[in-house]
Homo-oligomer: A and B are copies of this chain.
């Protein structure tokens, strides 16, 4: 089979579209943000991406129906007369090998380039290894001009972070994007790295909608963020009691948090 199979669901003409990428990763920040954006706009399914570089896995939904793991590209038409349309890339997995990462990214960029994409925003989490009360949004970009623009939206370009660079799809879409003459920005929400983080996703999305000039209702994401805040707070209390010699109730509550999405 082909290494990467992109199955278009319909044929569209888009107006100067912007690609927004958000796949699973640190704190699931990128995926949470991209999925929320897609659902709220809402964006419409445009193409499904299968690949032998994803795990050989199907998901089963609650009705017992299977679905092969995939990535999906959705599109949204701006209602403004002179607006730019959006493409949103989300999915179940990033490529599970370095070669797979390159192959999938290159094929998706090629597909998007043919739809007229010249600009990419990639969304990700940045693990701080400690609880982050109000997450900053760190940035990286393909050009000094983009850096300057993003600073105006509150994005932090830090001399030291991310020190080791970006590993995975969010970096690669920018790095390989340059071969398709695309400019782009990576928006990284600070997160502890311990559990999925809608609070960080919200911070990232707020920068994004500002930068690309769209409106988005954040109510549902805010609710999810507050729910996680509540759980995280309980965990912290439990740990504090535990370190003070007080039994902490159910064991390993932190591990459970990873499944809340």
- A-side residues, CB < 8 A to B, are 1, 5, 50-60, 62-69, 95-96, 98-99, 101-103, 105-107, 139-144, 147, 157, 159, 162, 165-169, 171-172, 174-176, 178-179, 186
Q: Which 10 A-B pairs have the closest CB atoms?
A: A68-B175, A52-B102, A64-B157, A56-B101, A58-B171, A1-B106, A59-B165, A58-B175, A60-B140, A52-B99
Contact B176 A68 (CB under 8 A): yes
How many monomers of this protein are in the complex? Answer: 4
Beyond A64-B141, A66-B141: 18 further Cβ-contacts under 8 Å?
Answer: A1-B102, A50-B176, A51-B102, A52-B103, A55-B167, A56-B169, A57-B168, A58-B171, A58-B174, A63-B157, A64-B157, A65-B140, A65-B147, A66-B142, A66-B186, A67-B175, A68-B172, A96-B98
> Chain B contacts of A54 at CB under 8 A?
98
Q: Which among B56, B139, B175 is the interface contact of A172 at CB below 8 angstroms?
A: B56
Contact B171 A57 (CB under 8 A): yes
Q: How far is the CB of A41 from chain B (nearest CB, A)?
A: 27
Complex alpha-carbon distance, A118 and B242, angstroms: 58
Decide yes or no: A56 and B102 within 8 Å by CB, A141-B66, A157-B63 being known contacts.
yes
> Chain B contacts of A171 at CB under 8 A?
56-58, 66, 68
> Chain B contacts of A68 at CB under 8 A?
171-172, 175-176, 178
> Chain B contacts of A178 at CB under 8 A?
68
Complex alpha-carbon distance, A17 and B147, angstroms: 40
Complex alpha-carbon distance, A231 and B63, angstroms: 37
11 A–B pairs (Cβ distance < 8 Å), ordered by A:
A5-B179, A57-B165, A57-B167, A60-B162, A63-B147, A64-B139, A65-B147, A66-B166, A66-B174, A67-B175, A68-B172
